[in-house]
């Protein structure tokens, strides 16, 4: 390695930009060449001067940095037990399930199984065959002509909440009472 | 060859670095809620951060404000520090440099003139020398003048390298630039300083 080539590498050597093999060649040459050794020292002196100037000029007054220390973060409270952390989630899930059940009709606030209008709200399951009341009512309402009165049919088929049949119109025979089959809700 | 020549700048500064094990232990204690650990962490790194800020801004009051802002942010976001990505000093320097840039922008933007578009800070030759530098030797004042004559981009790299002792990859992390860009800027900064200080080093 000649002196000129080494000189151009001194900056990169001082700045730590040379690969290891190149560094070794520069060092090896500088051991033998005083001119290159002095060039290296001059390059290194720049960094030393900058660092020294910073250390001196930027020296704070004693105790100054401690005096301007920013407020420390507030100490964190210990974490809650798992069951307490999950309590809001559990409560929300339970409320959601209840809302879904009420909304779907599977749950009801009222113990009655029939609506106030008298219309059954659940499926009736008969355990024995029975004569439809509408047919009998129609037969009874047909009168001497044998013609069923369409107006009588609805009255015969509908029972109110207490099981009493509505009064038939005046002059028409009273429908035959039939047992009201009530089954438990599924 | 003497031992001095065998040393590059990296090796010369290695002794001045705070041990990472000690820092990691302090951070763990901080995150566990120990107030005293925050104080120790501040005591360990506040000097470095202050000098970095002062070197970039040239004003003690500005440097103190940047120091407070930087540590307030670092304490608040300590749980976001990832030791696998960088050393704590690198992370802290990144915060400090960012605050310095904001401070510089806020300070000089109202008085911006056309001559400032060459990426150099406006200089006021009539401004009195800060008292911190009045006590410096002639050589140290010459060095400060040479450092201040660098553009902000070159000055940041030079200070992080010469004073901070960072590797080029770390400088890239602090300044958010590629390592090769940091190397190029360092060459330019060193050449400018060498030309300005040729009378001091000969």
- Hey, what are A86's tokens? 């999950």
CB B185 within 8 A of CB B159: no
Residue A152 has pLDDT above 60, yes or no: no
pLDDT in tens, chain B (202 residues): 344 443 444 554 554 556 678 899 999 999 999 999 999 999 999 999 999 999 999 999 999 999 999 999 999 999 999 999 999 999 999 999 999 999 988 876 655 555 455 555 554 444 445 666 666 788 888 999 999 999 999 999 999 999 999 999 999 999 999 999 999 999 999 999 999 998 776 6
Report, as an integer, the average pLDDT of A172-181. 53
Closest to B165 in 3D by CA, of B48, B46, B66, B44: B48
Burial class (CB in 10 A: 0-12, 13-18, 19+), A73: middle
Q: B14-30 pLDDT, tens per residue?
A: 545 566 788 999 999 99
Report, as an integer, the average pLDDT of A79-95. 88
Q: Å from B25 to nearest chain A CA?
A: 18
Query: Scanning every residue of chain B, which has its alpha carbon at the shortest distance from the alpha carbon of A41?
Result: B5
Q: A27-39 pLDDT, tens per residue?
A: 998 899 898 899 8
CB A107 within 8 A of CB A101: yes
Residues of A in contact with B8 (CB under 8 A): 13-16, 23
- Give the residue, A142 or B67, on which the prediction is more confident: B67
Distance between CA atoms of residues A4 and A7, nearest Å: 5
Contact criterion met (CB < 8 Å) for A49 and B159: no
Q: B34-47 pLDDT, tens per residue?
A: 999 999 999 999 99
Q: Which residue of A27, A39, A49 to mutate against B (max B Cβ within 10 Å)?
A: A49
> Confidence band (pLDDT; 50, 70, 90) for A112?
low
CB B105 within 8 A of CB B136: no
> Confidence band (pLDDT; 50, 70, 90) for A151?
very low
DSSP assignment letter at A77: P
Q: What is the ipTM of this complex?
A: 0.77
**Which among A17, A40, A50 has the least Cβ separation from residue B147?**
A50
- Give the residue, A174 or B80, on which the prediction is more confident: B80
Residue A16 has pLDDT above 70, yes or no: yes
Distance between CA atoms of residues A176 and A115, nearest Å: 24
> Confidence band (pLDDT; 50, 70, 90) for A74?
confident
This prediction has a pTM of 0.64
Tell me the C-alpha to C-alpha distance, in Å, between residue B157 and each of B10, B53, B169, B175, B188.
14, 13, 11, 8, 10
């Amino acid at each position: 390695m000649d002196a000129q080539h080494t000189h151009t590498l001194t900056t990169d050597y001082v700045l730590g930009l040379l690969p290891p093999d190149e560094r070794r060649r520069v060092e090896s040459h500088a051991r033998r060449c005083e001119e290159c050794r002095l060039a290296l020292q001059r390059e290194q002196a720049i960094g030393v001067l900058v660092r020294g100037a910073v250390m001196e000029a930027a020296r704070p007054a004693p105790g100054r940095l401690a005096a301007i220390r920013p407020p420390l973060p507030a100490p964190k409270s210990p974490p809650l037990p798992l069951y307490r952390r999950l309590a809001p989630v559990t409560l929300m899930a339970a409320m959601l399930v209840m809302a879904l059940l009420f909304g779907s009709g599977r749950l009801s606030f009222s113990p009655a199984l029939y609506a106030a209008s008298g219309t059954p709200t659940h499926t009736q399951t008969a355990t024995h065959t029975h004569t439809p009341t509408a047919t009998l009512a129609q037969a009874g309402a047909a009168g001497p002509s044998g013609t069923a009165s369409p107006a009588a049919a609805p009255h015969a088929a509908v029972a109110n909440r207490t099981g009493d049949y509505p009064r038939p119109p005046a002059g028409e025979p009273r429908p035959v009472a039939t047992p009201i089959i009530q089954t438990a809700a599924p | 060859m003497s031992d001095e020549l065998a040393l590059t700048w990296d090796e010369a500064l290695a002794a001045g670095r705070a041990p990472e094990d000690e820092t990691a232990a302090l951070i763990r204690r901080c995150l566990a809620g120990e107030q005293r650990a925050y104080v120790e962490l501040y005591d360990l790194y506040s000097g470095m951060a202050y000098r970095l800020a002062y070197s970039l801004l040239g004003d003690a009051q500005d440097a103190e404000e940047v120091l407070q802002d930087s540590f307030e942010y670092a304490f608040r976001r300590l749980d976001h520090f990832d030791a696998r990505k960088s050393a704590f000093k690198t992370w802290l320097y990144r915060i400090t440099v960012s605050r310095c840039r904001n401070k510089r922008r806020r300070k000089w933007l109202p008085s911006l003139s056309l001559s400032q578009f060459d990426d150099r800070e406006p200089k006021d030759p009539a401004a009195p020398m800060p008292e911190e530098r009045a006590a410096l030797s002639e050589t140290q004042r010459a060095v400060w003048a040479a450092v201040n004559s660098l553009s902000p981009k070159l000055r940041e790299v030079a200070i992080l390298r010469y004073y901070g002792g960072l590797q080029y990859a770390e400088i890239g992390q602090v300044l958010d630039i590629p390592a090769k860009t940091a190397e190029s800027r360092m060459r330019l900064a060193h050449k400018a300083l060498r030309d300005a200080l040729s009378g001091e080093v000969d």
